[in-house]
Structure 1
Amino acid sequence: MSYIYGANGAGKSYFCKIIRQIQSIILLSPILASGNTQLIDSLPLKELSSEIPTFRFSKAYEDSPTLFGISLMHKSVSYTYEFSIKNGIIISERLQKKFRRTETILERVSPSYLDISLKSELSSFLPNISVVKEDVLCLSMAAFLNNSLANELVSAIREIKVLNMATIKAGFNISEEAFSRDRIVKYLKVLQKADPTMDDLEVSFKDKKVERQKFSQDDFENREVIRETAKLSIESSHKIFLNGEVVDYVKMPFLQTESSGTIKLFIILPHLFEILETGGTLVLDEIENGLHPILVKELISLFNNQKTNPNNSQLICTSHDLTLIEDGVRRDQVWIICKNDMGVSSIKRVSKLLSMRGKVNLKQKYIEGAFGKIPQNFFKQ
């Protein structure tokens, strides 16, 4: 469980967007390698291939490539993957693994595949290295051609779910399995904290559409890009009381009668429980948006409870709500993003900023500016 704080405009949402951008470039690489211009120009892939802007507040960065990086644990081994890109061209790429010692197993120092070196588990991809073009990632192509480690790492990165509570919509990337009877029972336990009269839910999919587009006209394996959209029809059942006793039930259209906060709570629950059941990672921007603080803490408690989170799923959330870190939160779980006078954002863990030992009121220290007054103290080394 990690909490990310920072002032408005400090870069919290961009932290989330960067993860999405990394996923997009990884997804796009095999499609670019296919040379299918029709597919590349189609939506949503056209958006993924848009030019990556450089840092706008410094002349020094106008002609510099943009560097992306991500670290993750996989099978008790730490991996750090990074690549730089400029005008759609991959300038460099590196993958390092750390288990007792650090080893670089992918090193790319130019757009050409001739300047790529592979070691260890990635060595088996060497006979196919020529498929790596100047605008595609080597790791993506190794995964595409079934190198085991590359496939596992690419899958782990792509499966990170990144959502914004301010813009999430009902039915977004949700399958019918998300509303099985078992799941509905789990959702109800949370929703009843917002609306204690709620007794049951019935969910059905309406106006379901599936769009298919061939990956390539001469593709031997006949691969397709499949996009699915659907509208949800939700009916909630509520208790009717007489003298404090339940005497009947009434069904109501959920999306028309419930509060916006309860609806938003319902929309996020399938995503949360999918992560909890699979042991994945959810990055949630503005976790408190539209929700009462008690409900936000209820969502967080799902990840902090071994019973509801048996697979050690991870939640990373951005927030302005300091009550979330009042009690029982370690300082290494809290991150601060600040922007200096030149528009440069930096993120640091509170455990690196706060040297004092013993129990500390993180909320109060944040308000007092102990983690760096923006921008002067934060950027002192």
Structure 2
Amino acid sequence: MIVRFSVQNFRSIKERMEISFKKTGLKGMPTNYFEGPSKTSLLKTAVLYGPNASGKSTFLKAFKALEYLVLSSAGFKPDQAIPPYEPHLLDTAFREQPVEFRIEFFGGDHIKYELELAFLEKEIVREEMYYYPNGVQSLLYQRVQDKDIKFGDGFRGAKKTIERLLLPNQLFISKAAENNVESLLPAYRFFGQGMMVFPFLNENHESNLTRLYARRLAEEGESGFSRKLNALICALDTGILAVSAKEVDEKSFKFPDHMPEDLKKKIKDDFKYDIRTAHPLFENNKIKGKELFDVEEESTGTKSLLVIGGIILDSLEAGRVLVVDEFEKNLHPSITNYLIGLFHNPLTNPKNAQLIFATHDITQLASGEFRRDQIWFTEKNEFGATELYACSEIKGVRSENPLDKWYASGKLGATPIINDVDFLIEMQENVPEETE
């Protein structure tokens, strides 16, 4: 579970911007937060609003960048560029400065960890990890460019061996986990098992996830996940009676003669199952039976619901942190509101999964689903840099205020300013004069 996350000098974000899941002193809506380890009250959801290109997606991409570095940097080759190095380019003082991430979270061992790192295009400048075994901060390791790594008393496992193997562009936590360093595994596993990050869901992502859930429906037909996914899809007014998966006939695969056999096998395995939806079949206005459809015949909204429903159930079942951008696309606002509410309901979220997402759907501000410390806004300042602030930080805003109307009117900031004077002038330049 996440406590806070901050980003500096990454894409549109210049100065350090932080989002916090720590509950503020605001009262009300007790099901929207929970008591985590060490009696830390944490919020279950956070939503980001702001105009296009204001930095909402950038902030969510920072989660993905950090996840990628922790899980993958051990495999970087010598002199390989670090892909997430994308410094802020609209200020010359920042163009060659390090990108910085900092995250505070609880691992699967219920101990709080802090990981902070700064990196350039091809090297890690700083990497520090602390933990709180008894509620008191204690160093695990500290790595500073061109210096020996400093280890704390709580670090157990190989030190000098990993330090000698470590390349400048690799994270120590990534290399240490590769070598099974026990004291860092709970923190490492958080990034692989405790988070699910989807900074954007395009058709390719949705196709991959559809195949994943097709396999799970086919191979885990009686599992809790399959039953819950069926119940969720059928409950949300889709007209669907059941969702299942059918094995694809191997004869339907057509490959070029020169394609390697191992590649053919992989494709057959990836596309082994197709999802089927069952709809009621009527005769004389009475249900006679059911008709099966391929999921591709369903509406765009139903296909999106299948994907986001699966992602949400995955996070709820495991108590994961779900990070996703604009998951409400193609969904009715009432369905979006219901899916968000699954995180706030103790019955559907007993493991305290957390959700952070970005949206343009202001109807959610009118639903009364969020506390003010769960609502965040992004906007660009006059220098083209992202600024981030919580609704609870705005003076004069109360829970009873019509936040959707205030936001739409610009009273809360973070709305687009449209200056179309030059555009209208251009549009009129070639308009022919009227003749009598």
What TM-score, normalized to structure 1?
A: 0.80
1:297 is displaced (CA, Å) by: 1.5
CA-to-aligned-CA distance 1:270-312 (integer Å, 9 cap, x gap): 2221111111111111121111111112221222222222211
- Which has the larger displacement, 308-317 or 190-199? 190-199
Match of 1:70 in 2: 103
Distance 2:383 2:87 in 1: 15
Match of 1:43 in 2: none
Distance 1:281 1:211 in 2: 35
Match of 2:323 in 1: 283
Match of 1:266 in 2: 306
Match of 1:106 in 2: 141
Distance 1:51 1:351 in 2: 31
1:10 is displaced (CA, Å) by: 0.7
2:201 to 162, 165, 180: 165
Distance 1:205 1:302 in 2: 32
Distance 1:355 1:96 in 2: 38
Matched length? 347
Distance 2:84 2:343 in 1: 37
Aligned residue type for 1:192: C
1:116 is displaced (CA, Å) by: 1.7
Distance 2:83 2:54 in 1: 24
Checking the alignment, whether the CA contact within 8 Å between 2:275 and 2:294 is kept in structure 1 is yes
Structure 1 residues 293 and 134 mapped into 2: Cα distance closer, same or farther (>3 Å)?
same
Checking the alignment, whether the CA contact within 8 Å between 2:157 and 2:182 is kept in structure 1 is no
Identity of aligned residues (%): 24
Distance 1:285 1:156 in 2: 20
Match of 1:18 in 2: 62
Checking the alignment, whether the CA contact within 8 Å between 2:156 and 2:181 is kept in structure 1 is no
Distance 2:67 2:360 in 1: 26
Aligned pairs for 1:94-243 (under 5 A) are 94-98=128-132, 100-110=135-145, 112=146, 114-128=147-161, 129-159=163-193, 160-163=195-198, 164-167=200-203, 168-172=205-209, 174=212, 176-179=215-218, 180-181=220-221, 182=223, 183-204=225-246, 206=248, 229-230=270-271, 232-242=273-283
CA-to-aligned-CA distance 1:239-262 (integer Å, 9 cap, x gap): 123565423222222212x11101
- The answer for unaligned runs of 5 or more in structure 2 is 1-44, 254-259, 264-268, 418-436
Distance 1:301 1:336 in 2: 20
Checking the alignment, whether the CA contact within 8 Å between 2:407 and 2:415 is kept in structure 1 is no
Aligned residue type for 2:316: L
CA-to-aligned-CA distance 1:305-352 (integer Å, 9 cap, x gap): 222222111111110112223213111111111211211112222223
Match of 1:91 in 2: 125
Matched, 1:301 2:345: no
Distance 2:88 2:343 in 1: 35
1:154 is displaced (CA, Å) by: 1.5
Tell me which protein shows more strand as a share of its residues.
Answer: 1
Match of 2:375 in 1: 334
Distance 1:331 1:246 in 2: 47
Matched, 1:250 2:288: no
Aligned residue type for 1:174: L
Structure 1 residues 259 and 231 mapped into 2: Cα distance closer, same or farther (>3 Å)?
farther
CA-to-aligned-CA distance 1:9-36 (integer Å, 9 cap, x gap): 0111112211111122222322137x6x
1:87 is displaced (CA, Å) by: 1.9
1:374 is displaced (CA, Å) by: 6.6
Alignment RMSD: 3.1
Distance 1:210 1:127 in 2: 44
User: Counterpart of 1:306 in 2: which secondary structure?
Assistant: coil
Structure 1 residues 372 and 171 mapped into 2: Cα distance closer, same or farther (>3 Å)?
closer
Structure 1 residues 205 and 16 mapped into 2: Cα distance closer, same or farther (>3 Å)?
farther
Aligned residue type for 1:162: V
Match of 1:3 in 2: 47
1:211 is displaced (CA, Å) by: 6.9
Match of 1:59 in 2: 92
1:202 is displaced (CA, Å) by: 2.2
Match of 2:391 in 1: 350
Checking the alignment, whether the CA contact within 8 Å between 1:210 and 1:229 is kept in structure 2 is no
Match of 1:367 in 2: 408
Checking the alignment, whether the CA contact within 8 Å between 1:341 and 1:375 is kept in structure 2 is no
Aligned residue type for 2:119: I
1:119 is displaced (CA, Å) by: 0.9
Distance 1:329 1:103 in 2: 35
Structure 1 residues 196 and 265 mapped into 2: Cα distance closer, same or farther (>3 Å)?
closer
Does 1 or 2 have the higher relative contact order (CA < 8 Å, sep 6+)?
2
Distance 1:89 1:287 in 2: 34
Distance 2:101 2:151 in 1: 20
User: Counterpart of 1:122 in 2: which secondary structure?
Assistant: coil
Distance 1:297 1:150 in 2: 38
